Homo-oligomer: A and B are copies of this chain.
Amino acid sequence: MPSSAIQDYYPDDVAHCYGCGKLNEHGHQIKTVWDGDETVTRFIPKDYHTAIPGYVYGGLIASLIDCHGTGTAALAAYRAEGREFHTQPSLRFVTASLHVDYLKPTPLGVELELRGKVIELKGKKVISEISVSADGEITARGKVVAVQMPESFLKGDTL
């Protein structure tokens, strides 16, 4: 069965992101899929991804929100164009800005669920709101402003 995760269709030239690149063997390799009108990523932190013992490091939460946001943006952009996300030309987004509110400590040792909702899609910009839950409780909320990557990036040119 083909993958339903957008990251599995990022072109190889831009599939090395530490957060979500399928070609980064050191990285988190998150996978973002549609669930109705929301997007979902699930991730189990390592025991060393700690803030204070027993709780998840805020930088990891920010990282997951960041890559979930760019994945959400790409999924939404394909859907807006009425295209399947394995079709060409590829749509790949980068982060213009990231905001995270840490509502309460996020426990380590359980799977985290990130859920994204697109709140604006206009031209090459997609804004999404993202929640992070652990054990069914929302522990952080984020907002990601993502912009479509210039085509030159996709061709492997220098910036």
Q: Using a CB–CB distance below 8 Å, which chain A residues touch chain B?
A: 13-14, 16-19, 21, 24-27, 46, 48-55, 57-60, 62-64, 66-67, 94-102, 105, 149, 153, 158-159
Contact = CB atoms under 8 A, between A and B. Distances in A.
A134 to B, nearest CB: 13
A59 B60 CA distance: 7
Nearest to A55: B159
Contact of A60 (B14, B18, B52): B18
Given A13-B53, A67-B59, A18 B100 contact: no
Contact of A98 (B62, B64, B95, B159): B62
Contacts of A59: 18-19, 59-60, 62-64, 66-67
Given A19-B57, A62-B66, A24 B48 contact: yes
Given A59-B62, A62-B63, A62-B66, A153 B99 contact: no
A46 to B, nearest CB: 8
A24 B50 contact: yes
A98 B100 contact: yes
